[in-house]
Structure 1
Amino acid sequence: MKHFRLLTLVAILMIAALILTACPSSQTGTEAPAATEAPAQAPAATEPAAAEPTAVPMAELGTIKVGTNAEYPPFESVDENGNVIGFDIDIMNAIAKAAGFEVEFVNTRWDGIFVALSSGEFDAVASAATITDERKQAVDFSDPYFNAGQVLVVKKGSDITSVDDLAGKRVGVQLGTTGDIWSSENTQAEVVRYDEVTLAFQALGNGDVDAIINDAPTSADILKANPEIGGVILGEPFTDEFYGIAVNKNRQDVLKAINEGLAAIRASGEYDQIYNAWLGVPAAAEGDSGAAMAEGMSFGLESCDGFDGIVQKVVAVDDMTVEFDLCKPDPAFLSKVAFSAFGIQPSEWIESTGGTGDLLDHPIGTGAYMLDSWNRGDS
């Protein structure tokens, strides 16, 4: 049976490759498409346009306390002025504004953050918290607001090539995170736990650990900001990790307000604006033919599954170029690229349409990309 998956951009494999290069916009090449603006108001018609979801103001909530561990950029960190900033912070503030309540953030340690939430020290936790069955026994979670997978980080030149090579190796993780749990349950590695994830990356740079298992976006952000570490991310994320806002089980009013606020900012486009500001991936508007960043795009092609499937890997060669590694020689692949059955769309757009990308109703073909070259590999 064929399995359809969204293939994200990862490290380069030197096999049969198709390279697509983004077409520059006829206007300003570096200007991001206007994808995050709210839809324009429909002209007057005999039938009213469908209303966007809006949060019901809940002024009786007043101010709620939200715990966060501000050691996890770009989701939460402390700036030079001592302010807690990040993607989660802006998302939570936007939700609060849409739902009509105020937020007071409390910066706290990660270990024990859910115990503090359960005991009533906080009303909610917004801190890149993965939704798990174990955690749901103690706290409730909002609707998912982000999907982040675990990745393997090593020093350049390491003999580690995948998670299968971790037996007997020292693997750094942040205490109590999904990376900690996954490493303990799925490898024979010596798991070295740190209070903060940044300490694990420092240990990698110093040679105190051989590898790190951590959330993909945070790992990329830390490595980009600290090139002296000399670390690289190996391959694709090997898990799906959905983040949610954790809520005290006794505060169903808070949970309801957060879910309504989240739905409202998704519908208005404010979620996309915050996403682009912190994670740096411009979301192309439907049918937009302007420039689009290669990293962070998703591709509606069948992944390899035995002798079936089309694409083995999709790689961001640079900001404007993607490379496809095929499962096997496919003379028809160029025609598949040329027609609307194939689509390149931002991951957020695909998620917002329930995983289909809306290709059947609104095909976009290759979107912002054109064929640049065809290279025949050795395998």
Structure 2
Amino acid sequence: MKKIFGLILSAAVLGTVLTACGGSGAGVSSSGAAGASEPASVSGSAVNSSVYGTTLADIQAKGELVIGLDDTFAPMGFRDESGNLVGFDIDLATAVCEELGVKATFQPIDWDAKEMELSSGNIDCIWNGMSITPEREEAMSLSQAYLNNKIVIMTKEGVTVSAKEDLANYNIGIQAGSAALEAVTNDAVYASIQDKITEYPTYDEVILDVQAGRLDCMIIDEVYGGYKNAKLGSIFAVSEVDFGDDLYAIGFRKGDAELTQAVNDAINALIESGKAAEISEAWFGADIVVKG
């Protein structure tokens, strides 16, 4: 899904951000490896927003890894019918935290403000189907790729996109701050379609407007779009043309290389044990985890 990084805050702005973030709601935590049918529990503790240069020892000392996520991004991390936080990333992160000997605490954030949440120390990492981009590699310490995705074009009935240039004839929806938006803006076709694009805070809103006919198509993560389309009875068509592969990684602060490697090691241990494949099968019907 997703998503564009990059601002380094000044000390004055950072102080304001910390004040604002201090009033955010409690996170969601899980101390066990929740399966696809076992949602994470709600934590009543506030998130520590003063963690910098975090190491694995720091995380183990406080007993939790605070994970920032967009809780509308199915099937990676989202709310079920009962309001419980579930998803592939929820289950994988919970299993990783078990490997690290800490609790997974999930903190819903405004995805468009994810860089600010991380820089301020409100969260320890961003883990929610976040795409690897050159900008993020420069701005953050990224984990190894753990899942592959693709940026696809999905259309309502009666709309056909046989080539990217056809998009100029249609109204297009896309999530603000997403990797899909970045892929489109970096493509040669962007100059001819930019006036046709409307950005939305979430992909759920994009999907609703395509359903309602206010949009003709959307450019979206295949993992998310395919999951939602199946739930809706496959009402959208998927174009044969796309905007390329999209590898997912976990984002940490630039100075957190040691913590990043510890999470990589935990993911690889889950791959070796077969646990990662088990989680993937539960959510996607196949093992699509990328081997480190």
TM-score relative to the length of structure 2: 0.73
Matched, 1:66 2:67: yes
The correspondence of residues 226-375 of structure 1 with structure 2, limited to 5 A, is: 226-227=232-233, 230-235=235-240, 237-281=242-286, 352=291
Q: How far apart are 1:271 and its partner, in Å?
A: 0.3
1:224 to 215, 221, 230: 230
Whether 1:174 and 2:180 are equivalent positions in the alignment is: no
Return the letter of the residue paired with 1:258.
Answer: V
Q: Distance in 1 between matches of 2:223 and 2:160?
A: 24
Gaps of 5+ in 2: 1-55
Does residue 212 (structure 1) correspond to residue 213 (structure 2)? The answer is no
The CA RMSD measured in Å over matched residues stands at 2.1
CA distance in 2 between counterparts of 1:146 and 1:159 reads 29
Question: Following TM superposition, by how much is the alpha carbon of 1:166 offset from its aligned partner in structure 2, in angstroms?
Answer: 1.0
State the match for 1:32 in structure 2. none
Q: Which has the higher contact order (CA 8 A, sep 6+)?
A: 1
Q: Is the 8 A contact 2:118 2:126 kept in 1?
A: yes
Contact map agreement 2:164 2:241 (CA 8 A) in 1: no
Q: Which amino acid in the other structure matches residue 104 of structure 2?
A: V
Q: Aligned-pair distance for 1:59?
A: 3.4
Contact 1:140 1:246 in 2 (8 A): yes
Pair 105,217 (structure 1): closer, same or farther in 2 beyond 3 Å: same
**1:111 and 1:233, CA in 2 relative to 1: closer, same or farther beyond 3 A?**
same
User: What runs of 5+ residues in structure 1 fail to find an aligned partner?
Assistant: 1-55, 284-346, 355-379
2:263 and 2:80 map into 1 onto residues whose CA distance is 26
Q: After superposition, where does 1:11-90 map in structure 2 within 5 Å?
A: 59-60=60-61, 62-90=63-91
Is residue 172–residue 192 contact of structure 1 (8 Å, CA) maintained in 2?
yes
Instruction: Tell me which protein shows more helix as a share of its residues.
Output: 2
Distance in 2 separating the partners of 1:211 and 1:69? 22
Tell whether the 8 Å contact from 1:170 to 1:210 is kept in structure 2 after alignment. yes
Corresponding residue SS for 2:199: strand
Offset, 1:168? 4.5
- One-letter amino acid of the structure 2 residue matched with residue 225 of structure 1: K
Aligned to 1:110: 111
Bigger radius of gyration, 1 or 2?
A: 1
How far apart in 2 are the matches of 1:101 and 1:77?
A: 22
Over the matched positions of the two proteins, sequence identity in percent amounts to 26
Deviation, structure 1 residue 212: 0.6
- In the alignment, is the contact (CA less than 8 A) between 1:74 and 1:278 conserved in 2? yes
Runs of 4+ in 1 over 6 A off after TM superposition: none
Deviations 1:194-222 (A, max 9, x none): 11101111111111112111111111111
Encode CA deviations 1:223-264: one digit per residue, 9 max, x unaligned. Answer: 11123x831111265411110011122333421221111111
Alpha-carbon distance change, 238 to 180 in structure 1, aligned in 2, over 3 angstroms:
closer
How many residues matched? Answer: 231
SS at match of 2:83: coil
What's 2:204 paired with? 198
Contact 2:65–2:97 (CA under 8 A) maintained in structure 1: no
What secondary structure, in the 3-state scheme, does the structure 1 residue paired with 2:139 have?
A: coil
- TM-score w.r.t. the length of structure 1 is 0.57
Does residue 133 of structure 1 match 2:134?
yes
Q: Secondary structure at the residue paired with 2:238?
A: strand
